[in-house]
């Protein structure tokens, strides 16, 4: 049996005890380990220079693991020590999973499912707007841009739109009830036609575009079988879509039809249009999408048609992209779709609380400065510095205990952080001070330079040279964020009342900042 790998974990004084506790659980037949204390309190504040000067690597070390929030450059340190150096997980509790002890190494780089993303009102948009929208959908993860035609609406710029999209290197499908529009789209170079049935199937033999076949009616599978058989005899490529229907309008029956078509035709290409579930079910779409793509994975359906009309599905491309990668990886491992990252978890986290109340209390006892630390555990929000350690569940209730009444900038910072911490505690999400909450595929993560320290935020400074209140460096705003707009109170009240009166059909007034019906109505 080969010798165990010798890992060296570099850390600071405050995290050492927790790191030793977790490292002791590592299987000795796979890992030997050492802890190198860099001589700083907080491991995240270690620099390359500190690590080079203060850390000695024991003989026989095979790999050095830095804390996830350490901003040192692993490549520079690897050249210095002559041993591979890598950045580990942000939280110590995630170390076993990071080392592959969850039974698998997560690889979400692959998938086998093609996303058709429909522009539903393409006929009402200019060709230039269609191109801009198509490029945006492709950036988000779409593989094919689907141009949706509308009944009784002319689409005179269809050919131009197809040519612009194709010229930008995009694949294009045309989706219309009009045979004429489908023919025009195909002649302009569209790659796919949605959708043909046995009565309109002749068009498939006039063009090289790949048709998507549908039944005459959703419950008429024999008509789909006949269309499939005709394409098979001709040796032409195609896809079959038995049509997914909304809940209470045939949903369960339509799922069984997908299963039946796969049983009858084991090797054919199939498509599922997910919009009848994501758009027509007022539930968070990420979970709905994950379930549907799990069905696609089981049935080897390798194409989905998606649509985004409702506001609650505004991230549907990203959600489908995340789900197809998770399902592919789980299927390749013959495993449940568990333990493949946090992209399909938006509201809750699998392990939201990385510290126990006792561990936070131990850390609080070591603090010797006035800077406020915020942490979240099972029992609530913890706020502590050298003078206090308070626990609660209401962000606003902490204010009387915090010495910031005369420091507006600091109060603003703590208010924002505590509100974020309360959100995390109530939802069961992981909270890290000065870091954004992570929402999985429901929101983009901020890009950051992991080798550079973040700009200082509003913390409690002490000692000589302390900047005056409201002048301290602030964390920069998001790159595309607009400055807050000033709206005069009278203007805001008038606009709000006008909107409310229009929507409700009766006069409204504002009481304590809320709109309520005016008295006498």
The pLDDT assigned to 146 comes to 98
Residue 71 lies in a domain: yes
Pair 137, 169 in one domain:
yes
What is the rounded distance in angstroms from the CA atom of residue 243 to the CA atom of residue 253? 10
Last residue of some domain: 67, 99, 131? 99
Last residue of some domain: 99, 124, 145? 99
What is the rounded distance in angstroms from the CA atom of residue 56 to the CA atom of residue 429? 37
What tokens does 69 get?
């929030």
Pair 203, 78 in one domain:
no
Residue 414 lies in a domain: yes
Residue 469 lies in a domain: no
What is the rounded distance in angstroms from the CA atom of residue 71 to the CA atom of residue 44? 7
- Which residue in this structure is represented by tokens 């009616």? 217
Look at the pTM and tell me if it is higher than 0.75.
Answer: yes
Pair 171, 41 in one domain:
no
Pair 247, 182 in one domain:
yes
Residue 231 lies in a domain: yes
Pair 37, 173 in one domain:
no
Pair 267, 326 in one domain:
yes
Residue 262 lies in a domain: yes
CA torsion angle 131 136 137 139 (round to 10):
130
- Find the radius of gyration of the CA atoms of the chain: 29
Per DSSP, the three-state class of 8 is: strand
Q: Which domain holds residue 329?
A: 114-333
Structurally, the chain folds into a number of domains equal to 3
Pair 308, 160 in one domain:
yes
Q: Along the 521 residues of the chain, how does pLDDT read in single tens digits?
A: 578 999 999 998 888 888 998 899 999 999 999 999 888 888 878 888 899 999 989 989 999 999 988 888 999 999 999 999 999 988 888 888 888 886 566 789 999 999 999 999 999 999 999 999 999 999 999 999 999 988 888 999 999 999 999 999 999 999 999 999 999 999 999 999 999 999 999 999 999 999 999 999 999 999 999 999 999 999 999 999 999 999 999 999 999 999 999 999 999 999 999 999 999 999 999 999 999 999 999 999 999 999 999 999 999 999 999 999 999 999 998 888 988 888 999 999 988 998 999 999 999 998 999 999 999 999 999 999 999 999 999 999 999 999 999 999 999 999 999 999 999 999 999 999 999 999 999 999 876 665 565 555 555 544 344 444 333 343 344 444 444 544 444 554 454 444 444 444 544 443 333 344 544 44
Residue 476 lies in a domain: no
Pair 95, 143 in one domain:
no
Pair 318, 382 in one domain:
no
Residue 89 lies in a domain: yes
Do 402 and 383 touch, CB atoms closer than 8 A?
yes
Pair 221, 252 in one domain:
yes
What is the rounded distance in angstroms from the CA atom of residue 225 to the CA atom of residue 227? 5
User: Residue 383 phi/psi, 5° resolution?
Assistant: -125, 125
The pLDDT assigned to 454 comes to 59
Pair 176, 302 in one domain:
yes
Sign of CA dihedral 512, 517, 518, 520: negative
Residue 160 lies in a domain: yes
Pair 242, 321 in one domain:
yes
CATH of the domain at 124: 3.20.20.20
Last residue of some domain: 99, 131, 164? 99
What tokens does 304 get?
């989905």
Q: How far apart are the first and last CA of the chain?
A: 83
């Amino acid at each position: 049996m080969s010798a165990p790998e010798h890992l060296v974990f570099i850390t600071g004084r405050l995290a050492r005890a927790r790191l030793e506790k977790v490292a002791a659980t590592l299987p000795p037949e796979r890992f030997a380990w050492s802890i190198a204390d860099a001589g700083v309190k907080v491991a995240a504040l270690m620099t390359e220079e500190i690590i080079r000067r203060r850390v000695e690597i024991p003989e026989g070390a095979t790999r050095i693991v830095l804390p996830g929030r350490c901003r040192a450059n692993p490549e520079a340190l690897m050249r210095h020590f002559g041993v591979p150096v890598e950045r580990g997980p942000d939280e110590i509790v995630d170390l076993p999973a990071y080392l592959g002890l969850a039974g698998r190494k997560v690889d979400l780089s692959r998938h086998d499912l093609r996303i058709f993303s429909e522009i539903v009102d393409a006929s009402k948009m200019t060709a230039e707007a269609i191109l801009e929208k198509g490029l945006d959908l492709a950036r988000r993860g779409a593989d094919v841009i689907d141009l949706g035609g509308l009944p009784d609406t002319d689409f005179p710029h269809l050919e131009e739109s197809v040519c612009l999209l194709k010229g930008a290197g995009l694949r294009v499908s045309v989706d219309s009830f009009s045979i004429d529009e489908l023919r025009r789209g195909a002649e302009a170079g569209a790659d796919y036609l949605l959708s043909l049935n046995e009565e309109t199937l002749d068009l498939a033999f006039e063009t090289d575009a790949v048709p998507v076949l549908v039944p005459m009616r959703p419950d008429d599978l024999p008509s789909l079988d006949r269309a499939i058989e005709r394409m098979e005899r001709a040796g032409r490529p195609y896809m079959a879509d038995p049509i997914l229907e909304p809940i209470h309008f045939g949903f369960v029956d339509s799922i069984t039809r997908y299963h039946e078509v796969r049983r009858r035709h084991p090797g054919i290409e199939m498509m599922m249009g997910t919009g009848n579930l994501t758009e027509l079910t007022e539930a968070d779409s990420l979970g709905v999408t994950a379930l549907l793509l799990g069905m696609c994975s089981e049935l080897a359906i390798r194409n989905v048609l998606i649509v985004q009309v409702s506001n609650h599905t505004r991230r549907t491309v990203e959600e489908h992209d995340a789900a197809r990668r998770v399902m592919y990886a789980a299927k390749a491992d013959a495993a449940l779709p568990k333990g493949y990252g946090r992209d399909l978890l938006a509201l809750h986290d699998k392990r939201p609380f990385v510290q126990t109340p006792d561990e936070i209390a131990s850390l609080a006892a070591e603090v010797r400065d006035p800077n406020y630390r915020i942490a979240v555990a099972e029992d609530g929000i913890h706020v502590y510095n050298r003078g206090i350690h308070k626990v609660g569940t209401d962000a606003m209730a902490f204010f009387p205990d915090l010495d910031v009444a005369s420091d507006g900038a600091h109060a603003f910072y703590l208010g924002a952080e505590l509100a974020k911490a309360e959100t995390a505690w109530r939802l069961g999400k992981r909270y890290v001070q000065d870091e954004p909450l992570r929402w999985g595929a429901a929101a983009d993560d901020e890009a950051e330079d992991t080798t550079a320290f973040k700009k200082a935020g509003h913390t409690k400074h002490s000692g000589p040279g302390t900047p005056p209140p409201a002048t301290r460096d602030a964390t920069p705003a998001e790159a595309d964020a607009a400055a807050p707009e000033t709206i005069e109170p009278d203007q805001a009240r008038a606009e709000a009342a006008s909107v409310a009166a229009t929507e409700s059909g009766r006069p409204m007034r504002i009481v304590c900042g809320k709109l309520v019906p005016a008295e006498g109505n």
